[in-house]
Amino acid sequence: MMDTKLLGCVVLFPIQILFCILKATVRLLVPLKRKDLVADVVLITGGGRGIGRHLAKEFAKQGARKVILWGRTEKCLRETCEEIAMTGTECHYFVCDVGNREEVYQQAKVVREKVGDVTILVNNAAVVHGKTLMKSDDDALLKTQHINTLGQFWTMKAFLPRMLELCHGHVVCINSILSLSSIPGAIDYCTSKASAYAFMESLTLGLLDCPGVDCTTVLPFHTDTEMFQGMRVRFPHLFPPLHPEVVAQRTVDAVRTNTAFVVLPWTMHLLVILKSLLPQCALEEIHKFAGSYTCMNTFKGRT
């Protein structure tokens, strides 16, 4: 016999789901309240160039108290840091390879001592080797997994505990639409991004009962930076690359509105829906037609 409490839960469940759908629809139509960032210290991995650089500028522009940049190339970090400092926001940079666990823990300690507690962590750093499995050497495959996936484990272990103590924090992952729909020729990247997606999905659910600490995962389509240089899609006018400034703006807005998942552009949702509905042979035809099947043949990006 079902007890009364359980029966109540079963009856309430569909009503709760309907309420969530209604709330999400209203969120699309009504301007949302945005949290301010005046008390926030933001750390961005790979903050010296590409999307990370624009993220740093956007967080500063939208009022973050301090911005910290991590990366491997000191010159880019210094230039971005100087640019931000000129706008009046306190900015610091530290050379740190996120694929190196000891270095992450060591630099996290330095950040805490020199700058203070990080309240917004943006895991943005990534690399793409961009070859098929048989053409990739083992070291290159491992390097991508270390930077794109494991690096997020280390940064999270370094900064999340303090956010939980403070009941104030936000964890952001700049992922990729390729985490949900892979292409050939970037097997290292797609695998690492799929793994990072599962990591964020698990973390987002795991933090449900931790008030004040939220997560955002951003899944952009091809973006106009150095990362995928040479990659060619078949219909560039139909599927133009995103501008990194736009990815940065949408990310900071998602943080301020506590949005858990953002797909950019929104039309990429169709890809995800089709993927779960169509038979494999139809999906293969879509990949061939859209050119994603061969787009990495001309890839000459950088790592």
Give catalytic residues, as residue numbers: 189
Distance separating alpha carbons of residues 286 and 303, to the nearest angstrom: 29
Q: Output the smallest distance, CB 158 to ligand NAP, in A.
A: 14
The residue with its CB nearest to ligand NAP is: 50
Least separation in angstroms between CB 62 and ligand NAP: 19
Between 130 and 220, whose beta carbon lies closer to ligand NAP? Answer: 220
What's the CA gap between 210 and 261, in Å, rounded? 18
Which is nearer to ligand NAP, 25 or 267 (by Cβ)?
267
Pick 40 or 97: Cβ nearer ligand NAP: 97
Which residues would be at the binding site for ligand NAP (CB under 6 A)?
Answer: 45-46, 48-52, 70-73, 76, 97-99, 124-127, 147, 174, 176, 220, 222-223, 225-228
* Least Cβ distance, residue 286 to ligand NAP (angstroms): 19
SS3 of the chain: the string is CCCHHHHHHHHHHHHHHHHHHHHHHHHHHCCCCCCCCCCCEEEEECCCCHHHHHHHHHHHHCCCCEEEEEECCHHHHHHHHHHHHHCCCEEEEEECCCCCHHHHHHHHHHHHHHCCCCCEEEECCCCCCCCCCCCCCHHHHHHHHHHHHHHHHHHHHHHHHHHHHHCCEEEEEECCHHHCCCCCCCHHHHHHHHHHHHHHHHHHHHCCCCCCEEEEEEEECCECCCCCCCCCCCCCCCCCCECHHHHHHHHHHHHHCCCCEEEECCCHHHHHHHHHHCCHHHHHHHHHHHCCCCHHHHCCCCC
C-alpha angle with apex 107: 103 to 110, nearest 5 degrees?
A: 150
Smallest distance from the beta carbon of 46 to ligand NAP, in angstroms?
3
**Least distance to ligand NAP, CB of residue 175, Å:** 7
**Which CB atom, from 37 or from 76, has the smaller least distance to ligand NAP?**
76
| CB closer to ligand NAP, 99 vs 169 | 99
Question: Cβ of residue 222: shortest distance to ligand NAP, in angstroms?
Answer: 4
In sequence order, what are the residues at sequence separation of 6 or more whose Cβ sits closer than 8 angstroms to the Cβ of residue 224?
241, 242, 243, 244
How is residue 103 written in tokens?
């270095």
